[in-house]
Amino acid sequence: MGKKFLADLRFPEGKNVRGGKTKQSMEVPKGITTEANYINHTFTTGETGNTLTVRHKFTGEILARLPLGGTAEMETAIRGAEQAFEIMRHWSAGQRSEKLAALRNAFDVRKEEFISLITAEAGKPIAYATNEVKRCLVTLDTAVRETLRITGEMVPIDFDNGQGKTAFTQRFPIGPIAAISPFNFPLNLALHKIAPALATGCSVVLKPAPQAPLAALAFAPLLQAAGYPEGALNVLVCDVPVAQNLVTDERMKMLSFTGSPQVGWYLKNLAGRKKVTLELGGNAAVVIDATANLDKAAQNIAIGAFLYAGQICISTQRIYVDQAVYDAFREKLIVATEKLISGDPFDPNVINGPVIDKTHLRRIALWVREALDQGAELLTGGKVLDEAGNIYAPTLLTNTHPDMKVVSEEIFGPVAILEKVADFDEALHHVNASGYGLQAGVFTNRVDQMKKAHNTLEVGAVLINNIPGFRMDNMPYGGVKASGLGREGVRYAMEDMTEERLLVY
């Protein structure tokens, strides 16, 4: 496959589902190659003879045809990562920080191109893609700072047999990191693996999501410009059997995976002795008590449930409301939901863009139909708005029961359930009844309710007067139960990517 640049392609005109055409003047980023894979600072043409077609998620236009890597390329990538690690592990904290700062600046120059690319390949509404790119800069900035802060600890042993001795720990990088990232944040969630690895002196072999691999491929060459050695970041687009080699190979010292629970827990079983961090899905819930600001809650939850077609691990899916305010809140939420604009992700007014592909569009429609057939009530939505554009209407259901898929599973689509509860305790019980536990939102103006929620809810984080979709890139992020293992957030990932070594003298 010869050189192919995204600058050769343009996005066609699209249409907004709520009416009218949207002019798509943005070009695909210039100078970004769509060859795969990126190994040791070089784009390769693939050895399998098979290709992956990446499409614009709203128009269906082909953005790239990428050659899939095979086992030989995976081997080359792993060896390259080993060699890069042997260089980077000896860098001082100052060198690592300077290199990250150069990488951050190289990315900042190209940020508008990445916004356009993410909007096209991931179908992410452009305002939200802009936010992702801003968060990428925050992630890199945080890594620049945390590189200079990571440290061990003094160990008090100056007593008994240790009298007169000093002991302290120092952190050392563990080695090459195997990273697997999802489609919904095709760059920032990859950077949550790449940035802390570079900050500690670890190299990375990344498998991006097949639905949206272009942003990661576009980012990788920036490391060469920033002065990193060959193999510091290798990006492979490959099929599952080849990717499993990345997981099982003992030369990779850690697996950092973000994706579905089914795949994540399966890969953990394959990973052997290496460290494993899993950031998986959930069916995030919010609780609204009788003291909550209903207007604020309705506006926030409408966005939290339907932004990016609900394709966020911490999208609001389950809503439990105190019976004293249920009727009033229900009407406010329906109004807020029906005001949301669906359609072309390049329209800056669009909140609910395309579902990632036809398979997921059909699955979402099927789950909603199953719920309705089993007795659920439709409050709004419940239909495909644009099959060609993969647009499903923002949908609210009520009168559901716990074993319906729209309640018990992660729908990863623009669907939420709204239910009345007798009191705050019942609401907390429903939140905990899930097999997942990523984040939960609680709308209340009572301090005792806040404390009870924090002490009771089986989740990785409780957000007060906010939706569960809130995340800062420096905070510890992760779930319990089926939602994951370990924590992301730059500093917390850096701890996992290092090991403490004790010195006594």
- Just list the catalytic residues: 279, 313
d(CA 458, CA 480): 7
DSSP 343: B
Half-sphere exposure of 285 (CA within 13 A, CB side): 28
Burial grade of 224 (CB within 10 A; 0-12, 13-18, 19 or more): middle
Sequence letter at residue 359: T
Nearest to 63 by CA among 37, 106, 108, 32: 32
DSSP 127-150: HHHHHHHHHHHHHHHHHHHHHTT-
Nearest to 341 by CA among 81, 17, 39: 17
Sequence letter at residue 149: R
Phi, psi of 74 (to 5 degrees): -60, -45
Nearest to 53 by CA among 63, 44, 45, 65: 65
Strands 484-485 and 275-279: antiparallel
Count CB-CB contacts under 10 A for residue 50: 13
No. of helices (H) and no. of strands (E), the chain: 16, 25
CA distances from 26 to 12, 56, 114, 117, 125 (A): 9, 13, 11, 10, 14
Give me 492's structure tokens. Answer: 């917390």
- Any residues with CB less than 8 A from the CB of 464 and at least 6 apart, and which? 441, 442, 443, 444, 450, 453
Contact present, 299 and 266 (Cβ < 8 Å): no
Which parts of 162-312 fold into alpha helices (H)? 188-200, 214-219, 222-225, 240-248, 261-270, 294-306
Q: Which residues pair with 439 in a beta bridge?
A: 461
